[in-house]
Amino acid sequence: MAVAAAEVLRLKVAVLGGTGGLGFGLAARLALAGVEVVVGSRARERAENAAGEISRLIGGKAVIRGLENSEAVRDCDIAVLSVPFEGVDTIIESILPNLSSNTVVVSCVVPLKADLRGYGSAAELVRDRIPSQTPVVAAFHTVSAEKLTKLNEPVGCDTIILGDDREAKKRVAELAYKIDGLRPVDGGALKNTRIVEQITQLLISINKRYKIHDAAIRVVGIDDARVFESWR
């Protein structure tokens, strides 16, 4: 989904948990695509170190910096939660004072064996913790961190985009299209994240069984043009 260069430069994305595998990979790929990225962490020094490493990998052309989570979300267009499920409540509480209703919150949180405390999915818990006027979308669960960090290779897989706000989902799909080889497939309502989070757990199991690190998914039967048109 092509956008004008000036539009790319105006886009600001905070990746909370950007020092971890998936978060680091997403931050690196988005910075490589020309998006302004803020790496967020509970410790500012860790965020700054991760941002510096990404800048080094890309060759110093990245518009990227590291901040503590609560500062990272300030004035951002999209805030990606790539954090352990156990830390979701604390992190959301810390960012709420600086979180705008114009910001799309993206959950890629996977609960693994954690107690969901009565919720159907981690994304639904996030939805409950975020003010209702701020849209919540789920995405990037099934993207391999290993594939993301191989910056010279296309990712070559799909991400399922889920949410109840159509325009917010489109914004996240546009962001996904900036990552080489990543195709955003519309998975419907946010409640369907219950299925996708379980698929992620399955992919982790497959990685362990076959001693690999990059199991991912691709939805067959839909050509690229039809997926693209579905977001227009």
Please give the pLDDT value at position 27. Answer: 97
- Could you read off the pLDDT of 47-82 as tens digits, one per residue? 999 999 999 999 877 899 999 999 999 999 999 999
Tokens of 37: 């990225």
| CA separation for the pair 86, 127 (Å, rounded) | 16
Q: Which of 230, 201, 228, 229 is nearest to 217 (CA)?
A: 201
Please give the pLDDT value at position 137. Answer: 98
What is the average pLDDT across 83-90?
94
| CA separation for the pair 232, 230 (Å, rounded) | 6
Please give the pLDDT value at position 193. Answer: 97
Please give the pLDDT value at position 9. Answer: 45
Domains defined for the chain, CATH in brackets: 5-230 (3.40.50.720)
Q: Which of 7, 231, 217 is nearest to 137 (CA)?
A: 231
- Could you read off the pLDDT of 123-153 as tens digits, one per residue? 999 999 999 999 999 999 999 999 999 999 9
Q: Please tell me the least confidently modeled range out of 6-15, 39-48, 136-145, 185-194.
A: 6-15
Whether 4 has a pLDDT exceeding 50, the answer reads: no
The pTM for the full model equals 0.93
Query: Coil, strand, or helix at residue 85?
Result: helix
Chain position carrying tokens 């039809």: 226
DSSP state of 191: G
- Could you read off the pLDDT of 207-231 as tens digits, one per residue? 999 999 999 999 999 999 999 999 9
Please give the pLDDT value at position 201. Answer: 93
